[in-house]
Every structure is written in structure tokens, then in C-alpha cells.
A and B are shown apart, each in its own frame.
Chain A
């Protein structure tokens, strides 16, 4: 589950984890990749790691840590907006 992290001056960030995207894609494959813009229901949620804040602590989270639980993943345009 969430792992607490020490506060530093850098702005940590996360990203997809798991299979590395193939960097040797042909231009045709790259075009296909850009067209695929939405994930599909009934398929695996792409795993990711991300830093965050929860109840007074800075944490690191991986989506796959939550296997076995229901997850609501919500994106929003920015802090200080509504949900």
C-alpha cells in the first residue's frame, strides 16, 4: 500500500509501470499508437506509479498495490477547481 516518502526540494513525478513502450516502432506503428486514444472497458487498467499526498503524509502509490480492492480513479483539471 502507500509508501511514505521524505520531503525534498525536487518535484517527484510518476508514470506508467510495467512493459516498456517499444522505442523501435516503425512510423506506421507510431501513427497507430496516436490513434488509440481511449482505453477499453473489460480490459486491464494500465498500471502506474505516482507520488501524492494523503492525510499529512507524502506518499508513493502503485495502482497494482490495490489489486483485490475496488478502485475509483479520478482525474481533474487542477487543484482549487471542483470535482
Chain B
């Protein structure tokens, strides 16, 4: 979603994005002329009339589970977005029975929050796991 019109979105997809992705962008490219939606989400920069690089993860109940907002010159890490999405999906599937500590990615150990874990995280999770 950006302040560009849907016509500009079409030109961008036709002329450039389709050269990067076969068949063009598969998901909806939304228009937020005037930044009304961006204002509600806190990403619209009124002085410059553009939106920041905001990314919101919204769960199936319509709840915002996480967001990241960057100023325009720095791009996002798509892999990190997918990692967070997979983590939120795992937490939801286990109904909160499992949590994903720092450095978690699919296949790595989760934590099981509960009274037995209090003061024992050091046994279940090592600092190196945040970086490997």
C-alpha cells in the first residue's frame, strides 16, 4: 500500500515488477491516496506526503501481532518477516503452549511457558541459540 494511484501501481507492475517476478506481483497493490489509512496505522509522513516502510502482521482474528516501521532509505528483511509469521503461527497452533525464544526459526527448540520454566530458561536455552 502506498499513496500512488491504482493506475500507477499497474504501470509499475507492467513495466518493472513483471521483469523481476514472473507474471507480476501476485498480491493486491493498494492505493492510499491522501494517506488516510497510513495515518490510522501511524506510518503516514504528512510533511513529505509519503508513507514509511511499515509492515504489520495481522492474525486471522484481525489482531495486530507485530509491526516494523523504517524510514524510506532502508529496505526490509523479507526472511525475518516470514520467520516472525511462522513463529506467530506456531504459537497460535499450540494455543500459547509453546513460545519461540530469541533466535528461533522453524525446526529449532521452543519453550513451554509454565511454572516449571520459571528460573530454568538457562537450562533450556543457550545464548548461542540467539545467533546460530
Contacts and interface: CB of A to CB of B under 8 A. Distances in A.
Q: Which secondary structure characterizes the binding site on chain A?
A: loop
A70 B9 CA distance: 23
Q: Give the interface size bracket for B toward A.
A: 35 or more
Contact of A45 (B5, B6, B24, B62): B62
B89 interface: yes
B57 A75 contact: no
For chain B, what secondary structure do more than half of its interface residues adopt (helix, strand, loop), or is it mixed?
Answer: mixed
A40 to B, nearest CB: 7
Contact of B6 (A53, A76, A82): A53
B74 to A, nearest CB: 10
A19 to B, nearest CB: 12
Interface string A33-72: 0000111111111111011111100110101101111111
Contacts of B12: 79-80
A23 B73 CA distance: 37
B76 interface: yes
Given A13-B31, A14-B30, A61-B28, A73 B62 contact: no
Interface of A: 2, 11-16, 37-48, 50-55, 58-59, 61, 63-64, 66-83
